[in-house]
Amino acid sequence: MTANSRIYLDHSATTPLDPKALRKMQPYFTEKFGNPASIHTYGQEALKAVDEAREAVAEFLDATNSEIFFTSGATEANNMVLRGTMEKRIEEGNHFITSKIEHPSILETARSLEKDGFMASYLPVDKEGRVSKESVQKAITKKTVLVSIMYANNEVGAIQPIKEIGKLIRKENKKRLKEGLPEIYFHVDAVQGINFLDCSVKRLRCHLLSLSGHKFYGPKGIGVLYKQEGVALKAQATGGHQERNVRAGTSNVPGIIGLAEALKIANKNREKSSAKVFELKKYLIQKIKDQIPNIKVNSPESDNKGLPNIANISFPGAEGESILLKLDFAGIAVSTGSACSSTSLEPSHVLLAQRLTFKEAHSSVRFSLGKHNTKKEINYLMKHLPKIIEDLRKMSPIK
Amino acid sequence: MYTKEVLAHFTNPKNMGKMKNPDGVGDVGNLRCGDIMKLYIKVKNDKIKDIKFETLGCAAAIATSSMITDLAKGKTLVEAKKISNKDVAVALKGLPSAKMHCSNLAADALANAIENYQKKKNKNGK
């Protein structure tokens, strides 16, 4: 490891674009620039490529082409789900269920809906950051029309029991049909799961699912909403017939092509890359346990409860942003759940939901590994990290 | 995001560490927002003869702690009391707006330490 090279351990924030995906995208910026909504040859050429990409996404999700809608990313898809289904179904019910550890694109939209008069339940999580099926069951009311739970948490990697919740909701819906109660839609924000988890919508038993291109080595600014045939949703962006009137706006053709290619690659390499990053994660956690006293692992350590690539660790007595900056000076990129990483004065809502103390939450660092990371890079990290923590702890008035 | 001055003080903080037998101690911040500052002063002839800090917090919290020790050292208590949080930020050539309130506590810590010194002195004087 040379002093000038940089190490990227922030793959939950974003990933580099796969060169193969880039090559596939390139012609669609220049010679094949047509608008897929145009009837002429330029347009049809672009439309054909978009259709093929749609088919690839549908295949990956175990869905049909007509159930795939391209968006600008998962944030837009999540907004579409919450606002779009709740507003559309206001006559049927005004209550939805989500969890305390969702991405801000869900939580802030949920709060905004509450201001508009909708009712929300925010489910708690256990110490490992997991929602329970039982809490979903308890929160369901006659007025419930939507449950939105993320597949895996972006800060700690906790995998949620999506298949169990999906089963429960399906069972519940059968009962509700007989009782004349509104159907409950089940939405899964699958952004962090794509690289590592089974994303068949049939097996998850979800009605809606969101994903984002740049989390799996695809381009930024492109995402997908899966919407099961027949699921009612009010369009949020209007003013065009694109995406079958569900999402107006000219299609991001190069983005769509890049996303589909990246998805194919992710699917092909899933098992191999999952196993590789999981080994590396275990190695990293063990090294930190061995070399740094008084730490707390906030991520589930077993691979059936936590994503194989996220290690969220607290170093009480040192503050997250200070650790992040000192690592950055050494050429290592990570992220933190300290308040200083946000514009609010509070640390990570996820870590607080896991009942970490403020001191622990402010001292948290997220290491999120990717398919290109190596053991050598972890060794380089471990050359710097213990000293950084020691120095910051020396500076602190509370030990 | 941070100025060169902030990063310099963060990387090589001045007057860092605990002080033995300080004449005054200032304590500010809370665990909720994540920044905790402790400032120690030694006073001679109403002047700040020595000053040290201990801080748990982000780069802004550490840099402002370091900067105030630079600004206050050698000053009379009257002069030192006049140093504001804004003065500290200006000396660091600015702080990100989000940090102006949560992490810019050093002047409060100093005022707190001077108060603590004066209280002790008055008590002993009686």
Q: Please tell me whether residues A202 and A347 are part of one structural domain.
A: no
Q: Number of structural domains, chain B? A: 1
pLDDT of residue A77: 98
Q: What is the rounded CA–CA span in Å between residue B50 and residue A131?
A: 53
Asked whether residue A49 is assigned to any structural domain, the reply reads yes
- Residue pLDDT, tens place only, A190-234: 999 999 999 999 999 999 999 999 999 999 999 999 999 999 999
Q: Please tell me whether residues A330 and A238 are part of one structural domain.
A: no
**Are B9 and B63 in contact, with CB atoms under 8 Å apart?**
yes
Asked whether residue A113 is assigned to any structural domain, the reply reads yes
Asked whether residue A1 is assigned to any structural domain, the reply reads no
Q: Number of structural domains, chain A? A: 2
Q: Please tell me whether residues A24 and A12 are part of one structural domain.
A: no
Q: How many helices (H) and strands (E) does chain A have?
A: 12, 13
Check which CATH number belongs to the domain holding B17 and give it.
3.90.1010.10
Q: What is the rounded CA–CA span in Å between residue A376 and residue A102?
A: 34
Q: Please tell me whether residues A152 and A64 are part of one structural domain.
A: yes
State the CB neighbour count (10 A cutoff) for residue A3. Answer: 6
ipTM for this model: 0.94
- Residue pLDDT, tens place only, B74-121: 999 999 999 999 999 999 999 988 888 767 889 999 999 999 999 999
Give the end of a domain, one of A264, A283, A305: A264
Check which CATH number belongs to the domain holding A293 and give it.
3.90.1150.10
- Residue pLDDT, tens place only, B24-60: 999 999 888 889 999 999 999 999 999 999 999 999 9
Asked whether residue A2 is assigned to any structural domain, the reply reads no
Q: What is the rounded CA–CA span in Å between residue A69 and residue A246?
A: 8
Give the end of a domain, one of A264, A282, A305: A264
Q: Please tell me whether residues A255 and A366 are part of one structural domain.
A: no
Active site residue B58: no
pLDDT of residue A344: 65
Contacting residues of A for B32, CB less than 8 Å apart = 345-346, 358
Q: Please tell me whether residues A28 and A159 are part of one structural domain.
A: yes
A19 and chain B in contact, CB less than 8 A: no
Contacting residues of B for A392, CB less than 8 Å apart = 56
Residue A3, pLDDT above cutoff 60: no
- Residue pLDDT, tens place only, A155-167: 999 999 999 999 9
Three-state secondary structure readout of A218-229: CCCCCEEEEECC
Q: Please tell me whether residues A237 and A297 are part of one structural domain.
A: no
Chain B CA closest to residue A358 = B32
Q: Whole domain around residue A315: which residue ranges?
A: 7-16+270-395
Q: Please tell me whether residues A215 and A309 are part of one structural domain.
A: no
